[in-house]
Amino acid sequence: MAKAFIGFGGNIGDARQIITDAIVCLAQHIEVHIVNKSCFYQSAPVDAVGGDYINAVVEIDTELNPYGLLYVCQTIEQQFGRERPFANRGTPALPPSPLKKWLITPSVLRAPIRRLF
C-alpha cells in the first residue's frame, strides 16, 4: 500500500459540509483507507479572490497507483459539480471544489506535485 495526503479546500457555500461529504465519498472507495484527518482550519486566499477558505487534509493508504488516485479525486470533484472554466489559478472555484489539491508522496509519483497549501 502507498501513503498519500489529500488536501481539501473551498470558499463557496457551506465549505465544511462539502469537505466532510467529499471525505465520505473518498472513504467509500474500497482501495482507499483513511488513516487520519486534520481539523478544519480557515485561511485567507493566496493569489485568489473571494472569501476565506476552509481547509483540511486526510492521510490515506491506498492500493491505487498515482493516476488511479488522481482519477478517483477528479471523479469526486465532478460529482460535486466542479468546473474548470479558467486557465490559471487565482480565480474562485465554481461551484466549490472539495478536492482542489492533492499531494502524493514522491516515492509513489514521479510527476509534478501540486502545491498543497
pLDDT (tens digit per residue) in 71-85: 898 889 888 887 766
Task: Using a cut of 0.75, tell me whether the model's pTM lies above it.
Answer: no
C-alpha cell read off for 39: 481539523
- Cα 28 to the chain's mean position, in Å? 15
Q: What is the pLDDT of residue 35?
A: 94
Q: What is the pLDDT of residue 86?
A: 59
Taking only the tens place, the pLDDT of each residue in 37-71 is 999 999 988 877 788 999 999 999 999 988 899 88
